[in-house]
Structure 1
Amino acid sequence: MSSVQGPRFRKAGFTLVELLVVIAIIGILVGLLLPAVQSAREAARRMQCTNNMKQFGIAMHTFHDVYKAFPMGDVPRAAGDGYMYVQTHATIALLPFMEQTALQDAPGVNEDWYDAAASSDIETVVLETAICPSATNGPTNPVAQWGPAGDEIHSPGIGVPSFGAMHYAFCKGVNDSWAVDWDRADQQAPGFILPADGRPQRGSKKGYLNGPIPASEKGMFNRGMKVRIAEVTDGTSNTFAMGEAAGGSAWPLCRGVNCTNPDFGGQRFEANFGWLVGQPGDEDLPSVLGTNAFGCTMERLNKWPVTDSYMALDSGGSRTTQQRDTTSSANGGLNSTSNFRSQHPGGGMFLLADGAVRFVSETIDMTIYRSSSTIGGGEVVTGL
């Protein structure tokens, strides 16, 4: 008698080959999707960066409506050593128009940023509008220029501080000098002190202390200079007001125009600064590189390493002559101002004088790039 065998059932599951095929397919899908995800994230970060710059643009135009001019790049303060240091600057002037009146009203902020930082922890406050989410040096960052290696600021609460980061810089144009382009008709801030020998110097406009800076080199924000919309004769839709100024380890500094070596004195200094900081580096801090709230187009967008912002003496070593020199480095001047730089791939965001924000390619023609940074050069700007 033959036995009847029932049907054989195969256990459910994957063979090794099938499992490897599935893993390979998943890997391919992830590889296809990852760039799309990264692109979407970068698009979101760029949108946030754009919105931040538009907030600065709205604040600038509201300021202009009230005071009939944009804020000065900075209000200089003469010191006994011959330099013109920064008392306050455009970011601080704009705070009330960015719903940050309390920050401007904090003790000392509107009189002397350095004293305010040294006597409080105000420099550690994060100004959200100043933070680009693509930049890696935020929301706070150390600033070597004002840390242990430089002119150290001691805050009562925390000792050596990290500053609330600033990822945007005001456009000085193509002129990278740190002399004061100042006219009595433009100056309304109380308490401005002239140098001991502060007679009007050379220049076609009566009252200029150090100039004037040629219109073909002058940006919307310079030392001691107010600009009115009517003076932006190149067109507000063709003129930079601000550009990105990222920092962190990806953006080390180097000394002077056309510099290429990021190693300075055996160390690297990052292109970090804070929204409170307006001061460039100078020869009182020879071993530290620094940058600040200004950028210019003397050098290309995203130049690496970043040129430092440096207030130099003249070739004769005088501490007074350098304050009267508006000569850019292209014409033999010894000062330097940092180039604009961005963590966004391929270029950077710029705020225009009309309040619009535009992405500018890092491969932009330098003639167009420089022309776009000046308010009255008479250039015809195309291709921006």
Structure 2
Amino acid sequence: MPRRATGFTLVELLVVIAIIGVLVALLLPAVQSAREAARRSSCQNNLRQIALAVHNYESTLKCLPPGSTGGWTGSQMAAGWCDPSIGCGTPWGHFGWSAVILPYMENQPLYEAINFNVPAFTTFARNNGTTYTNQGNVANKLAHTSMPKTFVCPSAFRVKPVNEFKDYGMNSGTGACCPERTQANMDGIGFLNSNLRLAEVKDGTSNTFLFIEFAHFGNHSWTNYKEGTNQFFWIDHTSQGYVNSNEQDGTPTPPNSTFYNHRGSHSAHPELVQAAMVDGRVVVVTDHVDFQIYRSTFTRDGEEPRGGNF
């Protein structure tokens, strides 16, 4: 009697393949969700570490770090620090808060590699439709290209080098122009040569943003989506490292706004950004947050009743 051949028939094989396909389709979103949850957790830890560095800075120097610093006469940028296309009303190579706090996040050698007496350096700058390369003082090139990973959100897709462009910004308030070029009417936490005391955060440290996500790929002042800005510590007219709640004309910039020329928060997390409050607590802010609550969390002394309640 002939033996019956063993194995799958074509129909059975197709059924198995179909079942596997269904299982993969069911599991893939769960895997992607788990990966994003892990990335969000890492991003939260970055914000905590940056906020902790600021608290270490404040504990040592009795004030919060400046949003940016560099050549400044008190009324305009000092010679050698002026924007080549606009003039001495805006900086070209000031240093952002990220350079100032390096010793307080266990990066003393990198801090010592920065020469604060000459302008910062960047390999790329985008300003009002013009692209600039290798700007500033080359003495600061090595430091610029050695940015710690703490400043990188793992969810942010890269349009510029991961060792040069950061994904976080300091609270610069409710839109007075502009934090990198003046101290006038600034109601946030960081601005040009700021040195606020914690006691000046009268709305409460748990009700006021300290840092919030600003993914480097987002829209920013004079910079289109995916062009790339928010360099490690380079500051120019684009207000790198500064985030506000609305523009100077009052136009709201809630999380992940897409219109051109603003200084609002961005992230690659689905429909949300993350932020560190002045007290170090990390919170989640959705794209659909009540704008009045959101705006009030950017002021340090606005006397709003609901700041920080997300």
TM range (shorter): 0.7 to 0.9
Is 1:235 paired with 2:204? yes
Tell me which stretches of 4 or more aligned residues in structure 1 moved more than 6 Å: none
Question: Could you say what the CA RMSD is over the residues aligned between the two structures, in angstroms?
Answer: 2.3
Tell me the residue number matched to 1:35: 29
Is 1:180 paired with 2:182? yes
**Which of these residues, 241, 244, 249, is aligned with residue 296 of structure 1?**
244
**Which of these residues, 290, 301, 307, is aligned with residue 261 of structure 2?**
307
Cα distance change on mapping 1:139 and 1:43 into 2, 3 Å:
farther
Amino acid at match of 2:112: D
Tell me the residue number matched to 2:250: none
User: How do 1:56-205 and structure 2 match up within 5 A?
Assistant: 56-76=50-70, 77=72, 78-80=77-79, 81-85=87-91, 87-109=94-116, 112-114=119-121, 115-117=136-138, 120-137=141-158, 140=161, 164-178=164-178, 179-181=181-183
Tell me the residue number matched to 1:271: 228
* CA apart distance, 1:175: 2.4
Contact 2:173 2:299 in 1 (8 A): yes
Cα distance change on mapping 1:254 and 1:74 into 2, 3 Å:
closer
Cα distance change on mapping 1:372 and 1:91 into 2, 3 Å:
same
SS in structure 1 at match of 2:56: helix
Tell me the residue number matched to 1:208: none
Contact 1:70 1:227 in 2 (8 A): yes
Amino acid at match of 1:79: A
SS in structure 1 at match of 2:212: strand
* CA apart distance, 1:235: 1.2
Contact 1:307 1:339 in 2 (8 A): no
Cα distance change on mapping 1:340 and 1:69 into 2, 3 Å:
same
Cα distance change on mapping 1:345 and 1:380 into 2, 3 Å:
same
* CA apart distance, 1:112: 3.1
* CA apart distance, 1:102: 1.1
Give the TM-score normalised by structure 1.
0.66
* CA apart distance, 1:139: 7.4
Distance 2:17 2:108 in 1: 57
**Which of 1 and 2 has greater Rg?**
1
Structure 1: unaligned runs, 5 residues or longer: 1-5, 142-162, 182-210, 257-261, 263-267, 282-290, 309-337
Amino acid at match of 2:212: G
Distance 1:230 1:346 in 2: 33
Distance 1:74 1:104 in 2: 15
Distance 1:233 1:374 in 2: 9
* CA apart distance, 1:295: 1.0
* CA apart distance, 1:269: 6.1
Amino acid at match of 2:88: G
Contact 1:137 1:246 in 2 (8 A): no
Distance 1:140 1:376 in 2: 37
Distance 1:107 1:220 in 2: 24
Q: What percent identity do the matched residue pairs reach?
A: 33
* CA apart distance, 1:279: 2.1
Give the TM-score normalised by structure 2.
0.81
Amino acid at match of 2:189: M
1:179-233 CA-partner distances (Å, limit 9, x unpaired): 421xxxxxxxxxxxxxxxxxxxxxxxxxxxxx3x1xxx61111222212111111
SS in structure 1 at match of 2:55: helix
Tell me the residue number matched to 2:84: none
Cα distance change on mapping 1:119 and 1:255 into 2, 3 Å:
closer
Contact 2:90 2:236 in 1 (8 A): no
Amino acid at match of 1:26: I
Tell me the residue number matched to 1:367: 292
* CA apart distance, 1:305: 3.8
1:58-88 CA-partner distances (Å, limit 9, x unpaired): 1000111001111111124223543252533
Amino acid at match of 2:254: R
Structure 2: unaligned runs, 5 residues or longer: 80-86, 122-135, 247-252
Distance 1:273 1:349 in 2: 17
* CA apart distance, 1:362: 0.6
